[in-house]
Amino acid sequence: MSISDLSPLGAQGGSHVRAVHDEFHGDLLEVSMGPHHPSTHGVFRMIVTLDGETIVKLKPVFGYLHRNHEKLGENTSYLGSMPYTDRLDYLCSMTNNWAYAIAVEKLAGQPVPERAEYVRVILAEITRLLNHTCLAGFLMQDLGCSGTPLMYAFREREKILDLFESLSGSRMMCNYQRFGGCRVDPSADWLEGAKQLTDGYGQFLDEFEALLTGNEIIMARTQGTGVLSPELAVAAGVTGPMLRATGVNYDLRKTDAYGVYPRFDFRVPLGAHGDVYDRYMVRVLEMRESIKILQQALAGIPAGPIMDPKAKLRGFRPKAGEAYGRIEGPKGEIGFYLVSDGSPNPYRYRVRAPSFINLTILEDMCLGQTVADAVIILGSVDIVLGEVDR
């Protein structure tokens, strides 16, 4: 009996899976990578079956960080859930807040003032810079760089976190968006700081790319590794940079045109191979587009109220109904599905977590690759366990 018979994917997982039934191959080795492994980005676990160094089976195990997020949401008031959304993807609290706010605003029919829409776009794009920069740093660390790219990525992250802290009072758990606007109005100084960050970011990216993008070893390691076909990506519901790296043109900022995104001129970079290198490059190019959006938004931000004056914060009870709000988060489509029965708490609260859904096809990408590849493939998926396990 060959291993491809044993494989849960059967024949279709097959082209990469070598038959190992002859006497020249010994036993298979089952290695449990995680939940305390240096490169599983948290408490993720992969049970990997190896033939030599080649992966013939990979079973992802998660749930170590499960904390009843959705049930908590159903037992908390609408506003009470807002700080909890920070803890989902703890690198991107601003976009999590926004996606949740959009869902509730849809449910309650709450308008948002223009200035708040601009601030939301600015914060979302800064979050995208933050997330992609960190991801690039982590990915390079997984590739075996001795910390150099990560340190420079984290230098930029510090600048962004300082901005977040001066605006919301917290570096990572911002809890900033409200239904019908934002919690505080950014000062002129803050906007100037954001402008400086934006203007300096292109230079950082040039520096980062000069060291890494053209590096022979990085290209040899990542090109052709962890290939994801567009068909499988669409069938599995993969979104975000990972989907666009396979060449599928799907960016909610363009297709949904939510917020004030239609006012800005930006492009959506697409990959062609769907491998790790494409995923890395699509993110880098997306950062450059984000810089363009930020420059336009910071130049065009109007004066006015940051919060809709009619917005009701206390005793907030939307009428019975359901709503699904989604935005293009840095990791993919982050969506919140809410069912209201007219009470202060949602009847049903559901999170569509992009990293969780992007992670489901991990085995398909890893089969036939080596252990070293599995680590960078996982790194290129861009997961945050707080969001995967919820």
Partner 1 sequence: MIAAATTDAFLERAPVLLRDAVTGFLPEPWRTLVNALIAVGLILGIFGTLFAFITLAERKILGRVQNRPGPNRAPIPFINKRFFGLSQPFADGVKSLTKEDIVPRDADKVLHYLAPVALLAFSILTFAVIPYGRNLVPVELDAAVLYFFAAGAATELAVFMAGWASRNKYSLLAAMRALAQLISYELPLLLSWVPVVLIAGTLSTTAIVDAQAGWKFGFIPHWHVFTPWGFAGFVIFMVAALAESNRSPFDTPEAESELIAGHLTEYSGFKYALFFMAEYFGMLALSGMAITLFLGGWRSPLPFLEFIPSYLWFGGKLLALIFGFIWIRATFPRLRIDQLTRFAWKFLVPLALINLGNTIVWSLMSNSSALMQLARWPVCAAIILVPFVVLGRKLSAGVAPRIYRYA
Strand order in the sheet with 321-329: 321-329, 332-340, 346-352
Interaction with partner 1 in 129-148: which residues (CB under 8 A)?
140-148
11, 210, 217, 257: which one contacts partner 1 (CB under 8 A)?
A: 217
> Per CB under 8 A, does 370 bind partner 1?
yes
> Per CB under 8 A, does 23 bind partner 1?
no
368: amino acid identity, one letter? G
Structure tokens at 312: 């009701």
- 13-21, 89-97, 108-116, 262-270 -> range binding partner 1 (CB under 8 A): 262-270
> Which residues pair with residue 334 across a beta bridge?
327
> Which residues pair with residue 204 across a beta bridge?
none
* Closer CB to partner 1, 129 or 145, in the complex: 145
List of residues 6+ apart from 215 with CB closer than 8 A? none
* Closer CB to partner 1, 123 or 376, in the complex: 376
- Nearest by Cα to 339 from 326, 323, 351: 323
Interaction with partner 1 in 104-123: which residues (CB under 8 A)?
none
* Residue entry with tokens 């252990």: 371
Cα gap 87→101, rounded to integer Å? 15
List of residues 6+ apart from 298 with CB closer than 8 A? 122, 191, 194, 195, 198
Tell me phi and psi for residue 211, to 5 degrees: -75, -35
> Per CB under 8 A, does 282 bind partner 1?
yes
> Per CB under 8 A, does 229 bind partner 1?
no
Interaction with partner 1 in 194-213: which residues (CB under 8 A)?
211, 213
Under a CB-based contact definition with an 8 Å cutoff, are residues 79 and 68 in contact?
A: no
Interaction with partner 1 in 154-173: which residues (CB under 8 A)?
155
Name the minimum Å distance from CB 20 to partner 1.
Answer: 16
Cα gap 382→380, rounded to integer Å? 5
Structure tokens at 116: 């708040």
> Per CB under 8 A, does 88 bind partner 1?
no
> Per CB under 8 A, does 223 bind partner 1?
yes
Q: Nearest 5°: CA angle at 52, between 49 and 58?
A: 20
Name the minimum Å distance from CB 340 to partner 1.
Answer: 36
* Closer CB to partner 1, 47 or 339, in the complex: 47
Interaction with partner 1 in 27-86: which residues (CB under 8 A)?
29, 31, 37-39, 50, 52-53
Name the minimum Å distance from CB 150 to partner 1.
Answer: 8
Under a CB-based contact definition with an 8 Å cutoff, are residues 291 and 198 in contact?
A: yes
Total residues at the site for partner 1 (CB under 8 A)? 52
Name the minimum Å distance from CB 280 to partner 1.
Answer: 11
* Closer CB to partner 1, 123 or 134, in the complex: 134
Residues that bind partner 1 (CB under 8 A): 29, 31, 37-39, 50, 52-53, 140-148, 151-152, 155, 211, 213-221, 223-224, 249, 251, 254, 267-273, 277-278, 281-282, 285, 370-373, 375
